[in-house]
Amino acid sequence: MMKVGLVGMPNAGKSSLFNALSQAGAEAANYPFTTIEPNVATVPVKDPRMEQVAETVGASNIVWDTIEFHDIAGLVAGASKGEGLGNKFLANIRECDAILHVVRCHTDENVIHPEGKVDPASDISTIETELLYADLDSAERRHSRVVRDARSGDKVAIAEEKWLRDVIEALQAGQPVRTVPVPDAAPDAGRNLSALTAKPVLFVANVNEGEDAVPSVVADHAAATGAGAVAISSRIEADLADMGDDEEADAMREELGIGESGLHRVVNGAFGLLHLLAFFTAGEDKPAQTWHLREGLTVWHAAGQIHTDIQKGFVRAEVIGWDALVDAGGYAAARDRGTLRIEGRDYLMKDGDVITIKHTG
Ligand SMILES: Nc1ncnc2c1ncn2[C@@H]1O[C@H](COP(=O)(O)OP(=O)(O)OP(=O)(O)O)[C@@H](O)[C@H]1O
Ligand SMILES: [Mg+2]
């Protein structure tokens, strides 16, 4: 399960967006959640390919893979020095796989800005400074440890030490850790540091009603720091989500000139940051299901996502690309055509594969 944390200045529009995401999740979810925490929204990641696959094989229903959004409250200046809720805030971000950074860009004067003026560049920098300081602190501590091993001639330590020096330099220049590639010679260096600014970021420009372009200050900053950016109005999305009824909400969207659902852009944008591939399981009269896996992993890893018992008892997999399956019109025809393949456990998964694991037990 992928976790995404919402951060931003006080009053930036985090909770409005979070509420819209929660509603979307609550409505679209077709299975009960055991626990619903007040600050966690579980949202399905829709994939139109799955709809075609499910129809082709005659599945009973679709179970979507989900993504968790966490409303992380309480960034205060000085968080990196452990002030106020600072440590808790940083710990919450550390647990996330990616960050949604909500930036106030709307000019509604009824909404108080904590600094007294709307200034997206300055707000971004206030948040990022705390994260950069926290990382600088970790990087310096890690460096002082690694430098000793490097002196003793350990090759991996030498590469990590050099990388840490580059990281420290980047952080001091205001650049996030994700802009400094981890060296092949020290592949664990990134994990050892577990930097906050190494996490992928999607900037959400919270714009005025009826706008849908990302203001250039935000777009340029995102591009310069290896981040993504989308524009939405948090308030409109929250209002639309409250309306519930899809048709009414669609009519409202049209009236306001908002195209595709802003929430979809946020969910897909956040998901796109994670570099995952999608795979599917589907059979007649059974629930079809979407899953996600890090790129570069095998069908054996995929089996483990489905169930540890299936992974343990793995014998072989039947694999077919989603489009070949839809094209053939079903498994039997695909088998006749020879597009349904038998693969062993080392098969490297591809985005859009439909798999059936044959297993013992
Ligand atoms: N695009 C927008 N245009 C106008 N008003 C907005 C917009 N987005 C949010 N607001 C309003 O801004 C106020 C603050 O929003 P919200 O509570 O979502 O912010 P927050 O980031 O969660 O704040 P906090 O840090 O206090 O938790 C709300 O009154 C909300 O309706
Ligand atoms: Mg809030």
Give me the residues paired with residue 103 across strands: 205
> How would you write 66-127 as a 3-class SS string?
EEEEEECCCCCCCHHHCCCCHHHHHHHHHCCCEEEEEEECCCCCCCCCCCCCCCHHHHHHHH
The residue type found at 184 is D
Q: Which ligand is in closest contact with the Cα of 211? A: 1
Residues 288-308: tens digit of each pLDDT: 999 999 889 999 999 999 999
CA distance 91 to 42: 20
Classify burial at 141, counting beta carbons within 10 Å of its beta carbon; exposed 0-12, middle 13-18, buried 19 or more: exposed
Q: Which CATH superfamily is domain 296-359 in?
A: Beta-grasp domain (3.10.20.30)
Delimit the CATH 3.10.20.30 region(s) of the chain.
296-359
4-25 pLDDT, tens digit each: 999 998 889 998 999 888 876 6
- What is the secondary structure of 32-77 as a DSSP string? --S---TTEEEEE---HHHHHHHHHHT-SEEE--EEEEEE-----T
Residues of the chain within CATH 3.40.50.300 domain(s) are: 2-43+67-119+199-272
**Beta-carbon-side half-sphere exposure of residue 335 (alpha carbons within 13 Å):** 6
What number of other Cβ atoms are within 10 A of residue 275's Cβ? Answer: 10
Q: How far does the centroid of ligand 1 lie from the alpha carbon of residue 235, in Å?
A: 7
Q: Considering only CA atoms, which residue is closest to atom 29 of ligand 1?
A: 111
pLDDT digits (tens, 9 = 90+) for 144-156: 999 999 999 999 9
CATH number 3.40.1840 is the correct assignment for the domain at 131-197? no
Dmax over CA atoms of the chain, in Å, equals 69
**Tokens encoding 147:** 């430098």
Provide residues with CB under 6 Å of ligand 1: 8, 10-16, 73, 106, 108, 111, 206, 233-235
Query: What are residue 163's phi and psi, to 5 degrees?
Result: -60, -45
- DSSP codes, 230-293: EEE-HHHHHHHHHH--HHHHHHHHHHHT--S-HHHHHHHHHHHTT-EEEEEE--TTSEEEEEEE
Q: How far is the C-alpha of 343 from the C-alpha of 345, rounded, in Å?
A: 7
For residue range 308-327, list pLDDT tens digits in order. Answer: 999 999 999 999 999 999 99
- Fold held by 2-43+67-119+199-272: Rossmann fold (3.40.50)
Q: Would the pLDDT of 42 be above 90? A: no
| Average pLDDT of span 85-95 | 79
- Predicted local confidence at residue 31, as pLDDT: 42
> What mean pLDDT do residues 178-199 have?
95
Beta bridge partner(s), residue 41:
69
Residue at 251: amino acid letter: A
Quote the ligand 1 centre to 8 CA distance (angstroms). 11
Q: Which residue has 């950016």 as its token pair?
A: 229
Ligand 1, atom 7, residue with closest C-alpha = 235
Instruction: Decide if 26 contacts 42 (C-beta within 8 A).
Output: no
Average pLDDT over residues 226-239: 91
Cα(233) to ligand 1 centroid in Å equals: 10
Q: 68, 65, 3: which is closest to 280 by C-alpha? A: 65
Which chain residues have CB less than 5 Å from ligand 2, an ion?
Answer: 14-15
* For the CA of 110, the nearest atom of ligand 1: 5
In the chain, % of residues over pLDDT 70 = 90
Q: How far is the CA of 111 from the centre of ligand 1 (A)?
A: 7
Report whether pLDDT(34) > 60. no
**Among the listed residues 274, 288, 298, 296, the one whose alpha carbon sits nearest the alpha carbon of residue 1:** 274
> Which ligand has the minimum distance to the alpha carbon of residue 233?
1
- pTM score, two decimals? 0.84
Instruction: Give the closest ligand to the alpha carbon of residue 17.
Output: 1
